[in-house]
Structure 1
């Protein structure tokens, strides 16, 4: 019998567990660890609350989690409750599926002003992540600035712009819904260092901006390349640029009927933030695209900003005793193998790129490498204690481990607490989660 510890219960973790089952059958035992008492990682606290169809993929992970040879080990933090060397003595292989939970730094003067947030924190706030439940952003000002040209920036802008009714059916947490409904925003500016041809926004998410009740997207036609230039784009990118062109073509008097303007500011690189204690403005340098990269022109201007959310990427959290690539912001690895017996998958392996589905072949690939290392004899004999050894260690340390069936009780309590029309009201406090498990 072989034993695998997977650290992280998001898509990468459960796709890896599923692949291990298919590859090794009954000869494998998999423990999926998470520092929270609840599973699913990015699906629960990263995917936008109004994108419930995407969250439905968790049903696939539940099917894997309820099998006999896979178990969820919640409320256990690697590095705090147990170390990598300790797990290595218990399990034949350790797979790091921790994602990329930290924001890339907005490395400009003024980034430490109040009401300046990274997207991990801001998204975690409205998605009910316990770490960010007390964020308390001030939404009483008129202008929000969102930095970035990817889908996360779109999510943030859309969530800021929606009305109370538009959140029907979503699982946005109550404290965020209350704050957003009381917001006084009139303008949301999306800043991008490059132009329309370089955006990372997908058509579905971009198209949603055109269907909001009280907000309208604004694109300056002068920022758009000649129409013929779209021919070089990939089909999905071309669809996104076509949507930008349609936004630019909407007559001003039609856009003016909406209370909130969502303005795309292309060729705009943030260089500094200003304010007395709290952010009040952002200084921007006009850019041009040279060989695909943004180059500053020296022309600067200021945009009022009562709140700033930086959506410029994520980094994996380092773990003691694991080689880390500081420049790339992920674990140092060779196609998923850190060293024999220690592997990484998903964003922890490749950085924050790809879709949720990208993690499925990624998981299969790392399980194949585990199989290769077993066959080569480098993982030693199949005599490690696995979950029995961990259970003894957890009992010795008094760890309050949450099982998958206990998570289901937490889930049932969240569903009972849901406001009308919502699928659940998430617990945002770890102690409340543990009490709810019964």
Structure 2
């Protein structure tokens, strides 16, 4: 009978569901209930506050377990690689999302929201999340699990306009219809979609898969048709706006006169070569400047190597594998973004984990995975961690932290108030 031990760097479990999903999308976080049921199983143990690759090596884990599955995601972001990227006022969407979601490493971000115009580089769901949080009325955000610190800074925000910029055209956007619909219906913000970008798109959108066709139809309708009475009323009274800008690729962040802050972004005007998903953006030689004091880069995530003993393809940012089996490393598996790159939503990643689990089960049946010798599991790991003074956080420890977060949230009329400092979490459970 299989036993599963889960190791996590932070005291709190749930990873991207806790720290990546937007606070105003509580229904997406319901998957936590399934995780909790699994973690409470007699055959599953959770060990938080343990950094694999630092506190314990993958080779040591392989000595302790018959199979080791690496599922640590993409914890770095892709850089723009342009001059001025490090100026004040320029942030990665990853850090911004981590900040408002209480990810400990981003708790001190304190983004400067004193500019009226913000530019988000990227046309994916994370880009729309960031824009929505910047434009949402505070009374909506106050009822979510967004952190207290974030609410205080968003309450002082001067941002009135958010422009979402993409290298390619309307037929290549990476966001989904649900997120677009939320933006269109966002109270207190009106969309601005340039009709010129959407005229004649109907024919091009006919032969594409249904989700892409519906998404294109919604953008086109928003750009070219008069809204219904209720929506028109919303838009007429809106004090903020958002827009989609296509065929623009960032060249340089323009510095303010002090040379320290961003005052705008210079973009190459592009044209498309090819069509559909594989169309490439090619510079035309024209450039365009957009003035703004806040720039958020949402151009994707990147996995990092976890341990020198684990093969890693740094070009693709993945662990080389076949159906989740790490190449050249029997008994070692991978799942999620570190297996196939940072694409897809929670459902995609969940199905992907089922596939890796299937590979493990097949290897057990075919005896490619040798389980003839007993392995010590956590008993071996415990000694290694104790020697370094590291005390893992159990799932029942986490449930104590969880109860405090929920109680603090209740006082503020929120589902929870996240504790953003791991040391405070550890103090709560007497570590």
- Say yes or no: TM over 0.5: yes
Residue 21 of structure 2 corresponds to which residue in structure 1? Answer: 47
Report what 2:337 is aligned to: 347
Aligned length: 412
Q: Kindly indicate whether residue 346 of structure 2 is the aligned counterpart of residue 356 of structure 1.
A: yes
> SS of 1:56's equivalent?
helix
Shift of 1:169: 2.9
The residue number in structure 2 matching 1:272 is 252
Q: 1:243 aligns with which of 218, 226, 233?
A: 218
Q: Report the CA distance between 1:157 and its aligned residue.
A: 0.4
Question: Which structure 2 residues correspond to residues 184-333 of structure 1 after superposition, within 5 A?
Answer: 184-226=158-200, 227-249=202-224, 255=235, 257-275=237-255, 276-291=259-274, 292-320=279-307, 321-333=309-321
Deviations 1:297-347 (A, max 9, x none): 111110012111111111112112211111111212222111211111011
2:46 touches 2:395 (CA, 8 Å); kept in 1?
A: yes
What is the rounded CA distance, in whole Å, between the counterparts of 1:256 and 1:58 in structure 2?
39
| 40-49 or 365-374, which deviates more | 365-374
- 1:336 pairs, out of 307, 324, 330, with 324
For 2:425, the equivalent position in structure 1 comes to: 433
Question: C-alpha distance in 2, partners of 1:251/1:138?
Answer: 36
Which segment is superposed worse, 43-52 or 229-238? 229-238
Native 8 Å contact 1:95 1:345 kept in 2: yes
Shift of 1:386: 0.8
Shift of 1:107: 1.3
Instruction: Kindly state the Cα deviation for residue 213 of structure 1 after the two structures are TM-superposed.
Output: 2.1
Q: How does 1:409-424 map to 2 (within 5 A)?
A: 409-418=400-409, 419-424=411-416
In the TM superposition, what are the counterparts of 1:81-230 in structure 2 within 5 Å? 81-226=55-200, 227-230=202-205
Asked whether the 8 Å contact 1:109–1:273 carries over to 2, the reply is yes
Q: What does residue range 346-425 of structure 1 map to in structure 2 within 5 Å?
A: 346-374=336-364, 375-379=366-370, 381-418=372-409, 419-425=411-417
Post-superposition CA distance 1:102-138 (Å, at most 9, x none) = 1111111111112211121110001000000001110
- For 1:257 and 1:400, how far apart are their aligned partners in 2? 55
Question: For 2:141 and 2:419, how far apart are their aligned partners in 1?
Answer: 18
Give me the whole-angstrom Cα distance separating, in 1, the residues matched to 2:198 and 2:225: 14
Distance 1:261 1:355 in 2: 27
Change (3 A) 1:379 1:105: farther
Residues 340 and 373 in structure 1, CA contact (< 8 A), matched pair in contact too: no
Question: How many angstroms apart in 1 are the aligned matches of 2:429 and 2:86?
Answer: 38
- 1:76, CA displacement in angstroms? 0.2
- Tell me the distance in 2 between the aligned counterparts of 1:249 and 1:108: 35
- 1:330 partner SS: coil
TM-score, normalised on structure 1?
Answer: 0.90
Tell me if the contact between 1:163 and 1:181 (Cα under 8 Å) persists in the aligned partners.
Answer: no
Secondary structure in 2 matching 1:71: strand
Where 1:122 maps in the other structure, the secondary structure is: helix
Distance (whole Å) between structure 1 residues aligned to residue 370 and residue 346 of structure 2 = 30
Q: Report the secondary structure of 1:308's partner residue.
A: strand
Q: CA deviation at 1:63?
A: 0.5
Are the structure 2 counterparts of residues 250 and 377 from structure 1 closer, same or farther at C-alpha, using a change threshold of 3 Å? closer
Deviation at 1:281, TM superposition (A): 0.5
- Residues 1:365 and 1:308: Cα distance change in structure 2 (over 3 Å): same
Alignment CA distance shift 1:406-1:107 (3 Å): same
Paired residue for 1:4?
A: none
Of 67-76 and 256-265, more deviation after overlay is shown by: 256-265
String of CA shifts for 1:148-197, please: whole Å, max 9, x gaps: 11101000000000111121431111111111111001211100111111
How far apart, in 1, do the equivalents of 2:413 and 2:179 lie?
Answer: 23
